[in-house]
Copies of this chain bind each other. A is one copy, B any other.
Amino acid sequence: MTRSEENYLKAIFHLGNGEAGSISTNAIAEQMDTKPSSVTDMAKKLAEKGLVHYKKYQGISLTDTGTRTALSIIRKHRLWEVFLVKKLDFTWDEVHEVAEQLEHIKSEKLIDKIDALLDFPKYDPHGDPIPTKDGKFMERDKQLLSDMPIHAQGVCVGVKDSSAPFLKFLDKNKIALGNTIKILDKEDFDQSLQILMEGKELRISHQIASNLYVKKND
């Protein structure tokens, strides 16, 4: 497994949102910031190795082996992100770049020890689930804040956009995962929300609300 192969598998997995299904050459090229012709070349190589299904012009999908491999890289990425935040005081907007490198370190023992050191975390700093060693996924029951009805209450559990600018914006506005949240009012005009977060009132644009995941109280 080369680093590039691993990155392709991860990209294909993410584009399929975890579900199996054919992904287009162009979509992969865009996600990987490369050219479609490069994707075609790699598709052939990965198909050769039994990691993807590929038929000319028919798109690309992960085999079972490919899915397992992708999940193991995502597991490493997210565990390293937790490590960086919990043990080294990185902020949640700094970890992704470093984790992109650390996820390619080859040592099963290393990642198992990191997992244990962190007390087997279930979610990464952005609220994304950490696959288990055998590739099991524990997706949380969550929904976008923008999809919730007025007066609904819950807890912030994740972000959809995990780009540094968005995360820094959330920090600046004291919006953090784990915070309680209640929708006080929805503005029809621009779909902005008046919310109560940890006891404080706050106005939130639709753009923000559509990138924040909330676990609704029962």
Contact = CB atoms under 8 A, between A and B. Distances in A.
Interface of A: 84, 87-90, 94, 97-98, 101-102, 105-107, 109-110, 113-114, 117
Q: How many monomers of this chain does the complex have? A: 2
Contacts of A106: 101
Contacts of A117: 87-88
A107 B101 contact: yes
A107 B98 contact: yes
20 contacts: A84-B110, A87-B117, A88-B110, A88-B113, A88-B114, A88-B117, A89-B113, A90-B109, A90-B113, A94-B109, A97-B107, A98-B105, A98-B107, A98-B109, A98-B110, A101-B105, A101-B106, A101-B107, A102-B105, A105-B105
Nearest to A87: B117
A95 to B, nearest CB: 10
A88 B108 CA distance: 13
Contacts of A89: 113
A196 to B, nearest CB: 36
Contacts of A113: 88-90
Nearest to A89: B113
A130 B133 CA distance: 34
A10 B28 CA distance: 37
A102 B105 CA distance: 7
Contacts of A94: 109
Contacts of A107: 97-98, 101
A189 to B, nearest CB: 43
Please indicate which of the listed interface residues A97, A101, A106, A117 has the most CB atoms of chain B within 10 Å of its own CB: A101
Contacts of A98: 105, 107, 109-110
Contacts of A109: 90, 94, 98
